[in-house]
Each structure stands twice: as structure tokens, then as C-alpha cells.
Structure 1
Amino acid sequence: MSRLPNHTLKLKVGAPVMLIRNIDKSNGLCNGTRLIVIKLEKHVIICQMLSDTIINQTVMIPGMTITPSDSRYPFTLCRRQFPLILSFAMTINKSQGQSLHSVGLFLPHPVFTHGQLYVAVSRVLRKSGLKILILDTDGKASNRTNNVVYKEVFHNIYV
């Protein structure tokens, strides 16, 4: 079902996870926040936030009742679980707004949306922290990709 994570979450201390629900926006606990598991308890998972603005902050992630918004079924499904997923990688869209020390970018085909390549490469703080793997149409490593730019955007600009 959409918006409902897998029913089994297998974690251990040190696992990188991502929050998939907004819990407390004022303290940085919102959808897409990256965390490291520090301790596993029965009703709470204790994590350390991975953020440049909030350093070494320990937070407790409680189990939550999650109900999907899909109303195609004649019943309501409710499940109590932790709003976390394992996060060894993330999409370009999920990374937007984050600053990272190291970024590995895998491009099996050209980035398909205007501005996405910029978002992807601008997440890293230093050039030395960026590694890119680009594949050509034959699946071999390449050093070129297309940056999709819609030139129509620039037609009605007045200087």
C-alpha cells in the first residue's frame, strides 16, 4: 500500500535510517531526516541526528499508529510501527536541502528533470567529497552525461 512502509524493520545499533514522517519540525524531526541508531528499546528507538546544523543531538523515535490514506478498501488498516526505513542511499529529490560531507552519485541514465543534476552535485560540501558513476547506453562507465535544460524557460526573460 502506498505511504505504508514494510511491516518488518530489522535494525541494529549503528544502522543509518531515515525518518518517513514529520514528528517535530521545530527540532528537525521531519520527513527525510537522516539518523544513526544508538539504542533499540521496546517502544522507542534512540538515534543520533546526522545534520550539519544539529550536531550530536540524541532523539527518541516512538512507535506510531500509521494508517494509509488509500480508501479503495472497505476497511481501515492501522499498524503500529516505527516511522523509519534503512537509508544507505536516497533519491535526488529526498536529498534536496541537505548538506553532506560525501556524496556518491550513480547515474545509469541522464537526469530527466531540469535542475536535478544541479541539486544532486550541490549537496556535497566540498568537491573532494563528490564521486560520480555515469553509465553510457551500453552500460559502460563514462565521463559525460546530459543536463536537461528547457531553453523555453529563458525565452521571455527581460533584461
Structure 2
Amino acid sequence: MKYLQERAILAPTLQMVELVNDYMVSLNYGQEKSYLSSDTVCMSDHSFTSLGHVHTPEFLNSIKSSGIPNHSITFKVGVPVMLLRNIDQSAGLCNGTRLIITRLENRVIEVKVLSGKESGNKVFIPRMSLTPSDSRIPFKFQRRQFSMIVSFAMTINKSKGQSLCNVELFLKKSVFTHGQLYVALSRVTSRKRLKILCYNEDEKITNETTNVVYKEVFSNL
């Protein structure tokens, strides 16, 4: 538990994170359990009646968005996960809290808290109705699913506010937003405990990467 509590793999995009997480889960030979979500368009959405034939369950199931779990998620006992919503702040169950799965049931998942003052406590996580806030989705829908994702790796943005003893930075592609590289590097408490794997445009390992900085941000300072 302490091993997972003190380290994490960071990557710029959700696609890279899923790639790493899927590989790490495959190394766990425990019995897996998959959970499917129930996706529905919000009835208050004005586009629902005119585009009802487009918003089929299959189409809704295919949507992937930051901040909500996928339609199909697969967990195993011993796998670290991260909460995507505030559930109970008094119990330390907040957005970004890291947990480790201890038991998988049909209606709830038992987990142990990995971070914060409540570290070590066991709690039960139920399914929740989640609405993505992604502005690129031109309609509103709800996904009823366990509000957790596997967190061997996490996006750099999701790691904000966390302090880790060991950080592995996976840059299959360079960072793409202002200050993102700084956020990733500042998560680790010691330079000696930071490892970086970079790839160039030809997908070959390199020792250089781009630090994205928009000078306009500092013009009014």
C-alpha cells in the first residue's frame, strides 16, 4: 500500500494514461470484474427531441470524456484507483483521492484510502450519476457508473496539488499547454526520484522535450 501511495506515472493526455493503466492492470493476474454504465440523454436538453435518433445508447456508450469514467471499466483487487467526484469530504473521499481496491461486488466496491488524513480506512463506493462538463459535447447526458478510474498513471492536470516521493513522467508526445511540464516536475519531492521517458516525432527515445510557455501570460505581471 505504501509503495503505491508514494509514486505515480504522469502523462499529458488521457489516451497515454489509459495505455499505461491497461498495461499495468494486465500484469495483475487476479480475477477481473467489468462494470458497464447506464447512459441517458438529459430530458431537459432541447436537442433531445430533434436528435433522439442520433443519441442512441450505443453512441452514448462510445463517448469518452475527462472527468467521467468510460462506459466499460475493468477492475481487479489490488489495483489503485482515483475518485473523480467529491463523495464525502469528512471521510477524505474527494475528487482526486487515491484508493486501492480491496473487494469487488456487483453494487458497491470496497476500497482502502491511500492518501490524506483518512489513509488506511476502508470505505464502500457506490455507482453515481455523472454529467460531463466537456464543452465539446453539444448536448447533456448522464452516465451512471462507479466514479473511479485506474490510477497507476494519471494526467498531469489531475496530479495538481499532490506531492509524491517518486514520479515517472511518460512523454510519448510532448506536453501541449502552458506550464504543464512545470506542474509535472514539481510533483516530486526530490530530483533523484524523478524519471522521464521522452519520445521524439519519429517515436524514438530522446533526452529532450518541449517546454510550452506562452510569454503573453507574464506580460501583465
TM-score (norm 1): 0.78
Residues 97-137 of structure 1, C-alpha deviations (whole Å, 9 max, x = no match):
11122211111333222211111011122223211011122
- Label 1:154 to 1:40 Cα distance change in 2 as closer, same or farther (>3 A): closer
Indicate yes or no: 2:110 matched with 1:49. no
Task: Tell whether the 8 Å contact from 2:69 to 2:146 is kept in structure 1 after alignment.
Answer: no
Gaps of 5+ in 1: none
Structure 1, 96-105 or 22-31: larger mean CA deviation: 22-31
The Cα shift of 1:72 comes to 4.2
TM-score (norm 2): 0.59
Mapping 1:66-105, distance limit 5 Å:
66=129, 68=131, 72=139, 79=144, 81-105=145-169
Task: Tell me which of 53, 59, 69 is aligned to 1:5.
Answer: 69
Work out which structure has the larger RCO, using CA pairs closer than 8 Å and 6 or more positions apart in sequence. 2
Q: 2:89 maps to which residue?
A: 25
The Cα shift of 1:78 comes to 6.3
- Label 1:140 to 1:47 Cα distance change in 2 as closer, same or farther (>3 A): same
Gaps of 5+ in 2: 1-62
Indicate yes or no: 2:215 matched with 1:151. yes
The Cα shift of 1:63 comes to 2.8
- Identity across the alignment (%): 56
- Label 1:115 to 1:24 Cα distance change in 2 as closer, same or farther (>3 A): same
Q: Which structure 1 residue ranges, 4+ long, deviate > 6 Å from structure 2?
A: none
Q: Secondary structure at the match of 1:90?
A: strand
Distance 1:78 1:90 in 2: 21
Higher helix share: 2
Residues 35-78 of structure 1, C-alpha deviations (whole Å, 9 max, x = no match):
101122343222112215543222221233x15467848xx766
Q: Secondary structure at the match of 1:63?
A: strand
Q: 1:113 maps to which residue?
A: 177
Distance 1:62 1:136 in 2: 42
Q: Which amino acid aligns with 2:191?
A: K
Q: Secondary structure at the match of 1:94?
A: helix
Distance 2:138 2:178 in 1: 34
Matched length:
153
Higher strand share: 2
